Amino acid sequence: MFIAGNWKMNTDVSSAGALAASICDRVAAGTRTRVAVCPPYVSLESVGRTLDQKASPVKLGAQDMHFEDNGAFTGAISASMLASVGCTYVILGHSERRQFFGETDETVNRKVLKAMGAGLIPIVCIGETLEEREAGEVEEVVGRQVRAGLAGVSVDSADRLVLAYEPVWAIGTGRTASPEQAQDVHAFIRGLLINQFGEATGRAIHILYGGSMKPSNAEELLGQKDVDGGLIGGASLKADDFYGIIAAAEAVGRK
């Protein structure tokens, strides 16, 4: 299991450090679930320092990056910059980046390749809008995003790549895909991964569910066969709620 917290545009440097410390105090060294937190850029260094000082198993991730190494890209962050502050993960292709900042399958793919080349582990986000779901286009949309986003990608280990299925209609709305709906799409994605990377690797790559997961529904969602964890938004901003989801992942892992 893998639980990652996407803090989005929340917290300042001080509160981000306090939140990271509080999460570290709850996540013990023996926790079997992989855990990461992805604060805003301005807090990456301070949060990373907190994780190091706590000798925590929690890893550091970023929320996006550019596909160029350097240059005249005002406001952008490169893969090497993220690596230099200790990032292990980077979220790419989140629906909010697609919706508000013009992200496309092509730019996601360029970022994925650049991130992997720099030794970062991309968390590649995919998912359909409500209109696309109601039109029966879920597999068409998700399939296109997976194939285009992972074009040219090869992995020597399943640990080098993570996918996150986030139904756009369930992000920040309080609506959640039913466990059956989540499993159906995750199983479809699993088939695409097996087709591209082979049986063993395709089955081992983590596919996270994102979309209003919280402690009250986490265990049921995480209990689905092809749901390997969660990319958590709002619930990751409260240490108790975030740990509640981690505890649910631990409980599922013991069954």
The amino acid at residue 76 is A
Q: Is 166 a catalytic residue?
A: yes
Nearest one of 148, 93, 99, 144 to 115, comparing CA atoms = 93
- Residue 247 CA, chain-centre distance (Å), reads 18
**Cα Rg for the chain, rounded, in angstroms?**
17
Residues composing the chain: 255
Among 66, 94, 186, 206, which one carries the catalytic annotation? 94
The amino acid at residue 36 is A
The SS3 assignment for 56 reads coil
- Cα-based distances in Å from 163 to 84, 149, 203: 24, 10, 12
Q: Is 186 a catalytic residue?
A: no
Among 166, 186, 206, 250, which one carries the catalytic annotation? 166
CA atoms of 142 and 145, how far apart (whole Å): 5
- Give the residue numbers marked as catalytic: 94, 166
